[in-house]
């Protein structure tokens, strides 16, 4: 993928993330192949490009993992 194509993808995901409502369930695949989710979208900071997600815990309903990732490292976003 060329740098120009990569920038188009990145900016496209930033637009999607800016429009997501907190609590939306997503599954994200990063460029390194990591699969994150299903997780709840918490927020997107357009200044830093950081996405905050919360993965549900398996032990108790209030238990969960907070995940911070750079929007520029997202390869795909899935919505159930």
52-69 pLDDT, tens digit each: 999 976 666 667 899 999
- Gap between the Cα atoms of 2 and 46, Å rounded: 23
Under the banding of pLDDT at 50, 70 and 90, the label for residue 13 is: confident
pTM: 0.78
* pLDDT above 80: residue 28: yes
Burial 3-40 (b: 16+ CB within 10 A, else e): eeeeeeebeebbeebeebeeeeebebeeeeeeebbebb
Find the domain containing 28 and state its range: 3-78
Domain count within the chain: 1
Residue 35, φ and ψ in degrees, nearest 5: -105, 125
Residue that has been written with the tokens 């997202």 in this structure: 74
């Amino acid at each position: 993928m060329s740098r120009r194509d990569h920038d188009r993808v990145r900016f496209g995901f930033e637009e999607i993330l800016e429009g997501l409502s907190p609590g939306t369930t997503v599954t994200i695949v990063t460029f390194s192949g990591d699969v994150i989710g299903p997780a709840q979208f918490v927020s997107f900071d357009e200044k830093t490009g950081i996405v905050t997600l919360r993965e549900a815990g398996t032990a108790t309903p209030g238990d969960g993992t907070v995940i911070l990732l750079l929007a520029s490292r997202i390869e795909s976003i899935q919505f159930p």
